Structure 1
Amino acid sequence: MKPTQHAWRLGAIAITGLCAALISGCNTEFGVGPGDGGETPGNPDYPTLDNKRPQSFALASVGSQPANSLESMGQAMTQSADFIAVDLVMSKDGTLVALGSPDITDITNIANHSEFSDRKTTKVIDGISVTGWFASDFTLAELQTLRLKNPTGSSTPTDINSFRIQSLAQVFDWAKRQARTPGLYLQTRNPTYHSKLGLPMEDKLIAALQQAGNTSATSPVMIRSTEVQHLKTLRDKTKVRLVQMIQGSDLTPWGVIQLSAPYDRPYDFTVAGTATTYADMVTTAGLAQIKTYADGISPWKPYVISATYLDKNNDGQPDDLNNDGKWDYRDRQMMSATNLVTNAHAANLFVHPFEFSSDVSTLASDFAGDASKEYKLFYKVGVDAVLSANPADANKAR
């Protein structure tokens, strides 16, 4: 690991105008800076890596359907998403299962199943102690007696078969049954956590890909992860496109990305004692390192273009632009684009930012409640795809 750590640290030193990192206590704030808008020769409307129009990817939950349900995937198909995001965790019997977290307390109706009440426990996921029920304590058959739900609601099934939990093999089978085969954007959740439980994900994922015939760089599958060694292990075993996810913990009032554990760096870096943060990874040197094992990056969208509150009266408080008595994204104003897309493309990496929505509360004041304006702004910068809860709107904006 030492040569790799050394290379990453060189990336941290070689910050090149994309950002400046301010370290204070246990937090790091990643500031966005001006960029040249990602313009590249070829297609002035869509300065993407391949000069083709950007793609529309569906997040794991579409149309208010529970994340990772076939109902949500069906909505994504109806909205003509090019790829559909699917989260993956491991079951007790070593099966890859489409769930948004190892902690299934709030994303399933497990609390209603008294037969499993004795399995409520406490586990540590990426350094955070969590009490609830966990997929790794249940077999696939047991998990499939549960039903998916939204974390903030009950999502009552329309019939006994609604919102069923799917294995990855079942998701692949579902995709093959569609009139148009959708791409699947697989996100492996918490690989280090699963490995420590004796449930490593890599070989199971490779076997599932091979079984489904997805073995090449042109296969309708991409794999996204926050963890570096996990992606490197996959790179040695598959040609399927791999994507490094770039996270952040919060956005300051003035548009600066905050980095606090566990969202400050890949968790395998934390375990290994590697100081490299996500801010280091989006420097030119960091992107060059990512290119050695991945085909693209998937950053939180403020890494591409952030948004700031205003303080026109200089009272030290953000202005309430829409006079609704509260502060949310509608009171922010978009900042200049960083040069992340330009630098990633220069490293031959595609860029898939997340997470977009047509919910007006997530749209900066610049867009006046019109989601198409946000998509168009990011398309102009040159992103290769957007991950959205409303892929149809992302399509219309192209």
Structure 2
Amino acid sequence: MPRPPLVIGHRGAPGYRPEHSRSSYDLAFAMGADAVEPDVVASRDGVLVVRHENEISGTTDVADRPEFAGRRTTKTIDGASLTGWFTEDFTWEELATLRCRERLPRIRPASASFDDRQPILRLSDLFDLVRAASIEHGREIGIVLEIKHATYFEGIGLDLVPLVEAEVARSAAGIPLVIEAFESTVLERLRQRGVPATFIYLIGAGGRPADLVATRGADAPTYRDTVTPRGLDGLVGRVDGISVDRRVILAPNTLGRATGPTRVVADAHRRGLRVYTWTCRPENAFLVGEFRGSGGPSAFGDYEAEWGVIRDAGVDGVFVDHPDLGVAFFRG
């Protein structure tokens, strides 16, 4: 009987509470998640902050704070022009005054009802929450730590590698730790420095990794190249596994029908690589076309049928926005 995959609370339980808020994580712990996934970016003074992106206007109340109006600016992050407010332009003391907001209020209005109630978290805060939750719930809970925009931050003088290394040494003792990134170079640097973790390379359904684009330009391999047998060969010994966009497994065709599971999971396993996938969500807005139902984007479609394709592929871990649904389906 295959072992069920790890159920990882993607930013906590953001199907029910604003992502990366304390209540989002607390709910994920209570719902039985094996691990939770924080994204980390940096403040101006080098504090690792738990946010989906360094641009924070969509997940905090910063745009409504007159004292920070002058911080609004436009930057290019990994080749994309963004206008808003960025964590690296604030000290942690300033960021700590902000409050969390739901990133997808039209799809998740119930979660948005919890807006403006909770401060944002540091990575150190989350390590403390996970340690306490493991004791409270009587089981080992892990962290799958995603490092965001490492090349960009290094380019502005905020190298995330020593910051992560120091925080792990300070705070992570006794907590199962996975470190993941869309940039393999940051994973390799942390591994070379002896940071005790499992290292997972995040792979999108399209595009190219920002770190390799920065050094190789148009010659940088695509993410699609990376999940070919030859590409996977090149990862052996460099990382412990991959985490792929679920579409890489589902392989939807132009009619919106899943043609998978593809061979990527089996190919990776043959090379000794673990495989995680992201993100399993039940709402119509996120499902492959054939699994969508009535009721509009926020209604639940036939998510179990889509998740069944992913389960049958034999993945080792799944990221979910609704940990209760993930636990019921993947462990059921």
1:249-328 to 2 correspondence within 5 Å? 259=206, 264-273=207-216, 274-310=219-255
Counterpart of 1:225?
A: 181
Counterpart of 1:339?
A: 263
Counterpart of 1:244?
A: 201
Q: Show CA shifts across 1:128-157 (max 9, x none).
A: 221211000101110010011123449355
1:14-25 to 2 correspondence within 5 Å? none
Name the Cα RMSD after superposition: 2.0
Structure 2 unaligned spans of 5+? 294-300
Is this contact kept in 2: 1:372–1:394, CA < 8 A? no
The amino acid across from 2:240 in the alignment is: D
The amino acid across from 1:279 in the alignment is: R
Q: CA deviation at 1:362?
A: 3.2
**TM-score, normalising length: structure 1:** 0.73
1:145-160 to 2 correspondence within 5 Å? 145-153=97-105, 155=112, 157=114
Q: CA deviation at 1:396?
A: 1.5
Counterpart of 1:382?
A: 314
2:85 aligned with 1:126, yes or no?
A: no
Q: CA deviation at 1:363?
A: 3.4
Aligned residues with identical type, % of pairs = 29
2:321 aligned with 1:362, yes or no?
A: no
**TM-score, normalising length: structure 2:** 0.87
Structure 1 unaligned spans of 5+? 1-42, 47-51, 249-258, 311-331
Counterpart of 2:49?
A: 97
Is this contact kept in 2: 1:57–1:84, CA < 8 A? yes
Report which structure shows greater RCO (CA 8 Å, sep ≥6).
1
2:9 aligned with 1:58, yes or no?
A: yes
Counterpart of 1:171?
A: 126
Q: 1:129 and 1:213 mapped to 2: Cα distance?
A: 35
The structure where helix makes up a greater share of residues is 2
Is this contact kept in 2: 1:357–1:371, CA < 8 A? yes
Q: Show CA shifts across 1:146-199 (max 9, x none).
A: 0111234493557x8x32111111111111111134211111110011101110
Aligned pair in 2 of structure 1 residues 336, 100: CA closer, same or farther (>3 Å)? closer
Is this contact kept in 2: 1:108–1:149, CA < 8 A? yes
- For the residue of structure 2 that corresponds to 1:77, the secondary structure is helix
The amino acid across from 2:323 in the alignment is: P
Counterpart of 1:68?
A: 20
- For the residue of structure 1 that corresponds to 2:20, the secondary structure is coil
2:90 aligned with 1:138, yes or no?
A: yes
Q: 1:53 and 1:292 mapped to 2: Cα distance?
A: 25
Q: CA deviation at 1:366?
A: 5.3
Q: 2:232 and 2:28 mapped to 1: Cα distance?
A: 31
Count of aligned positions: 309
Q: 1:152 and 1:213 mapped to 2: Cα distance?
A: 31
